[in-house]
Structure 1
Amino acid sequence: MEYYFRIAVAASTYGFLLLGEYCLTFELIPRWFLHKGKVTMWGYIWYILFQIFFLFAIISHLKASFMEPGYTPKFPVPQGIPIEKIRYCEKCDQWKPDRTHHCRTCKKCIHRMDHHCPWINNCVGFKNQKFFSCFLIYVFLCCFEVISIMLYAILVYFTLQNQKFENSFMSLFISIFTGVIASVFLIFTLVMFYDQMDAILNNQTEVEKLADMVGVNKTSIENLKASLGESVIDWFNPFVDSPDPDYSEVLYSYKKKAKKE
C-alpha cells in the first residue's frame, strides 16, 4: 500500500502541471490576450514561454524520478584509510564512503543523499540533485507567469474593460482562482529550491546538516560547478547530466571546517 501511495504522490505532480497547462492554454490566454478575434503578440510570447518552462519541468522531473540518485558502487576500500575510519553498511554489505548514506526507502547506499522526496518517489542524491533543482525552478517560473497574467487580468478588468475587452466577472474569477493556486505552488517550490541551493552552495546535504557534518570548504562557484557542471549554461539545462561523483570526498565536523584543499 505504501508503495502505491508513493507512486500516486509522484504522479500527482503531472496532474498539477497539466492543470496549469490547461488553464493557461484554454482560459488565461484566450480570455485576456484576444483582440478582434486574434491572439495578441504578448499572448503568443506568454504562451511560448510557458510551454518552454512546462517542457523543461516535465523533463527535469522525469530525470530526477527515474535516474539513479547516486548509488554507491561496490568497490574495495581505498588504501591509506585508517581502519578505525572505515564505515561499513551491513545492509548493502559494502564499504560506505564518508558522504554516503543508506536510504531505508530505496534500500541502497546513496552518495551525498539529501533526502527521500515523495514528489519524485526517489532520493535526491548527487546524480539527480541538479534535475530536482531544475524541476523546482521551472515550476516556479510556470507559477510566476500564471500569477503575472492574473495581475494583468485584474488591471485589465478594472481599467481597460470598456476600451478593449468584454470579459465577464466569471472570467476574472477563474483567473484569480488559477493565480491563487499558482501562488501556493510558487511559495512551495521557492522554499524547496532555496533548500537545495543552500545544500549545494554550502557543500552540506540535509542528512549531513542533521549530523553536524560538512564537506570540504570551497567557494560557492566551486560547489556549483561540482554539483551542476562546469558551464553556467549547463547548470539549469535538463538535457545535460551532472558531473561524476567523487567517492573519496570526506566529511568534517561542522565546528572544524576543513580548509580549502
Structure 2
Amino acid sequence: MKSSPASRVRAIERQAGYLHPEECMPPPPRSAAPGVMWFIRDGCGMVCALITWFLVFYAEFVVVFVMLMPVRNIVYSFFNGAVFNGLAFLALASHFRAMCTDPGAVPKGNATKEFIESLQLKPGQVVYKCPKCCSIKPDRAHHCSVCKRCIRKMDHHCPWVNNCVGENNQKYFVLFTMYIALISLHALIMVALHFQRSLIDQNFLFPLECSSFSPPATVILLILLSFEGLLFLIFTAVMFGTQMHSICNDETGIEQLKKEEHRWGKRSRWMNLKLVFGHPFSLFWFSPFARPDHGKANLYQYVI
C-alpha cells in the first residue's frame, strides 16, 4: 500500500539525520519581540486589507446617507443605524485584531546545536525542523511562504486580513467573517425595504423622497451595495461555517487538505470551541477586544 505525499514528507521530517543544526544561525534575542506589533509587509495582502476597509466604509456611506438620513421614521432610522454601525465597528475591530495579532509564530532560527542540547531529548526522540526558517517547530505547525515563519496550528493564510489564521488569532478571524456576514445581510434587507417603500410611493425610478441624492445616483449606489452585500454574504457565511466545522472537529484547513493523521488527543466539540474562544462561555466570546481566557481548559500540547 502506497503512502500519501503528506505522510512521506512527515516521514522525512522524523528522520534524525534530517536535522542540521550547524547550518542555522543563533536565534534572535527574544527581548526585541515584546512591544512590537505583528504586521506582515506583503503588498497583495495590504491591498486586500485596504479594499476590505474601503468596502465596509462604502456600505456605511450608502446605508447612512442614502437610506437612513432622509428620516421618515425616526425609530426605524435610529434602530437600523445603531445596529449597522455597531456590527460594522465590531467587524473592523475583528479584522484589525486578526491582522495585527501574532498567529502563533515559532521562534525563527532556534534549530541550533545549543538549543537542541538544551531540550534534553530522550534517546530515540525526534524533533521537527523547518528547513526554510531553520526552526524547531512543534507538532501541527506549518511553514507559511508569505509570512516566512512556521505558524502553530496554521489553518491558512488569508490575504483579506494580510495574515495567517493560526492558534492565537483564529477567534478574531471567525468573528470577522461572522460580523461581515451579518452586516451584509442587514444591508440587503434594508435595500429591499427601501425599494419596497419606493414602489409603494410609486417613485421606483424617481424616488424623490427616498434619498437626498439624485434618482440615478441613488439607484446606482443601491445596486452596487446589493451586489457587494450578496457577494460578501455568501463568501463570509461559507468561510464562517468552514471555520466552525474545523474548530469543532479540531482539524485545520491544511490538515484536512493534506489528510494528516490525527496524533493528538480528541476532545468534545464544546471543549474545542472553548480552546479557541475562551473558557468558560461568556459574552466575551463575541468581543474582538477580549483575548481568549482558557482558564481550566486543557490547552493543546505540542511535541518538539
Give TM-score, length-normalised by structure 2.
Answer: 0.71
Match of 2:68 among 29, 35, 55: 29
Deviation readout 1:96-125 (Å, 9 max, x if unpaired) = 211111111111111100011101111110
Match of 2:301 among 248, 256, 259: 248
- Provide the secondary structure at the position in 1 that maps to 2:139: coil
Give aligned pairs, total: 242
Q: Quote the residue 1:188 is aligned against.
A: 235
Q: Quote the residue 1:59 is aligned against.
A: 93
| More moved, 169-178 vs 150-159 | 169-178
Identity among equivalent positions (%) equals 32
> Relative to structure 1, is the Cα distance of residues 106 and 223 closer, same or farther in structure 2, using a 3 angstrom cutoff?
same
For the 8 Å contact 2:67–2:210, the answer to whether it is kept is no
- Provide the secondary structure at the position in 1 that maps to 2:157: strand
* 1:218 is aligned to 2:261: no
Runs of 4+ in 1 over 6 A off after TM superposition: none
AA of the residue aligned to 1:26: F
> Relative to structure 1, is the Cα distance of residues 166 and 197 closer, same or farther in structure 2, using a 3 angstrom cutoff?
same
AA of the residue aligned to 1:153: H
Deviation readout 1:148-205 (Å, 9 max, x if unpaired) = 101212321223558xx84386445643442232111111111111121111111000
| Structure 1 residues not aligned, in runs of 5+ | 251-261
> Relative to structure 1, is the Cα distance of residues 104 and 160 closer, same or farther in structure 2, using a 3 angstrom cutoff?
same
Question: What is the CA distance between 1:88 and its match in structure 2?
Answer: 1.7
AA of the residue aligned to 1:13: T
Q: Quote the residue 1:167 is aligned against.
A: 210
| More moved, 235-244 vs 49-58 | 235-244
Q: Quote the residue 2:35 is aligned against.
A: none
Question: What is the CA distance between 1:147 and its match in structure 2?
Answer: 0.6
AA of the residue aligned to 2:53: Y
| More moved, 210-219 vs 116-125 | 210-219
AA of the residue aligned to 2:301: S
Measured in 2, the distance between the counterparts of 1:205 and 1:243 equals 21
- The 5 A counterparts of 1:96-245 are 96-159=137-200, 166-167=209-210, 170=216, 171=218, 174-213=221-260, 214=262, 215-230=264-279, 231-243=281-293
Q: Quote the residue 2:20 is aligned against.
A: none
Give TM-score, length-normalised by structure 1.
Answer: 0.82
Question: What is the CA distance between 1:249 and its match in structure 2?
Answer: 3.8
The two structures, once aligned, show a CA RMSD in angstroms of 2.7
